[in-house]
Structure 1
Amino acid sequence: MFLAGFGLYMAYGAGMVALHPSFIYPFAQGEWPLPLTYEAVPLPDREPARLRVAMGDGPAVLYFMGNAGSIGLFGTSLEQHRRAGRTVAALEYRGGGGLTGWPSEKLLKEDALAAYDWLDAQTDQPIVVHGYSLGSGLALHVAAERPVAGVILDAPFARLCELMARASALPACWLPVQRWDSLALVNQVTAPVLIQHGGKDALIPPEQGERLAKALQTNGEQVEFHLLPKADHLDITSDPEWGQAVEAFLR
């Protein structure tokens, strides 16, 4: 009986390893519209990935969305920056929002660095990286590999594989999966960081954001952690305190 149960568990584990990308990247295939002020810009040598760009006179913000897959769903965050006069460049992920291709941790992180390099060539202004949920891993990756003026993280994870383990009852961080380990990047980040997390977030519990903040602080970085008690994972940017904290941080 034990051997039969163990065999079923192993088969389940193998199946989850094979299927796990579909859970990390459940990208919507439809394209939700953005205002015409956001120009679609192909990312050189990284097709099919592309940027949505609105030029401004202030600092530049490189934005990385969550795993909904269509940048039009994140207009609240983009408009927060555009209305303040900042240049906004948002990465559209391969495999979602009407784009072809297959996403992976490796490819998305390469796309994110290419997006920074493109934006850096377009502006003399300082660049801030801003990431939500899955995009927090990309924002931290860029901050670890490129010079940035600041890092804004909304509902970030410390290690995505831990959330996978919780959901699957498997030791995901020890399996051959895409781990998305943000904790492994903290000693390479040298910019001020703002982390905001919804107190009612059940998808990525606020404890994940708190652990990430403490790890960055231990590394000596200037870190602000704001818990928004009434917000959950999906409505964090609708909380008035979210926008106020973003503006105060960037000032």
Structure 2
Amino acid sequence: MIYFHGNGEDIGCCIETCSRLADALNAVVFVPEYPGYGASRGTPSSESIDAIARAVTTSICSQIQVPPSRIIIMGRSIGTGAAAALAAWLNSPSSTMNNRQPAAALILHSPYTSIRDMAKSIVGAVGGLILQRWNTADNLKRAGCPILILHAPNDDVIPFRQGECLFNA
């Protein structure tokens, strides 16, 4: 499993969650750190996080020899954008993987439709000026794998409606 954590945390904050996932799934859980988070150097952006996600996945597939079809990708909150983008990349012709293969599954916990939509939900129409980043709705169409969406109606960070929209799409 490759797990992408939320915005207000780093990999140290999700050790307990990932340990429970590893035990429950009898699996190894990789947690790439985002540039600029925790002890990781760099600047966080959708491009830098996607580059880390692709590098980790490429290493897992080439060094450990796990095919993408055996990898579960999971994201929580802001990490759902990176998770969906990685799933779409694995199944795309532009993937640098030898064989284009979809992931085993994609799990999204408290997802958003896009960063622009999130901005609009927080600051109104001005949020529409935000450059489009991580269009989760579009990436889900290209993922090519089973998708599980988990979202609580009383989520006070990412509106439940966003998860509903992804589910209905």
**What is the TM-score normalised by the length of structure 1?**
0.58
The 2-side partners of 1:68 and 1:123 are apart by: 32
| 1:88-129 C-alpha deviation (Å, 9 max, x unpaired) | 111111101122211111111121111111111214361010
The 2-side partners of 1:199 and 1:176 are apart by: 26
Residue in structure 2 matched with residue 91 of structure 1 by the alignment: 32
Structure 1 residue 156 displacement after superposition:
0.5
The 2-side partners of 1:171 and 1:179 are apart by: 16
- The answer to whether the aligner puts 1:71 opposite 2:11 as a matched pair is yes
Structure 1 residue 176 displacement after superposition:
4.9
Residue in structure 1 matched with residue 76 of structure 2 by the alignment: 132
| 1:182-208 C-alpha deviation (Å, 9 max, x unpaired) | 112122111111111122102101111
- State the SS of the aligned residue for 2:32: strand
Larger radius of gyration: 1
Gap runs ≥5 in structure 1: 1-60, 216-251
Q: Is the 8 A contact 1:69 1:93 kept in 2?
A: no
**What is the TM-score normalised by the length of structure 2?**
0.83
Residue in structure 2 matched with residue 184 of structure 1 by the alignment: 138
- The answer to whether the aligner puts 1:117 opposite 2:58 as a matched pair is yes
Q: Is the 8 A contact 1:105 1:178 kept in 2?
A: no
Q: Name which structure has the greater RCO, CA cutoff 8 Å, separation 6+.
A: 2
Letter in 2 for 1:97: G
The 1-side partners of 2:121 and 2:150 are apart by: 22
Compute the RMSD of aligned alpha carbons: 1.6
Residue in structure 2 matched with residue 102 of structure 1 by the alignment: 43
Gap runs ≥5 in structure 2: 91-101
| 1:33-84 C-alpha deviation (Å, 9 max, x unpaired) | xxxxxxxxxxxxxxxxxxxxxxxxxxxx011111124111112320122213
Q: Is the 8 A contact 1:149 1:192 kept in 2?
A: yes
The structure with more strand, counted as a fraction of residues = 1
The 1-side partners of 2:72 and 2:85 are apart by: 13
Q: Is the 8 A contact 2:80 2:112 kept in 1?
A: yes
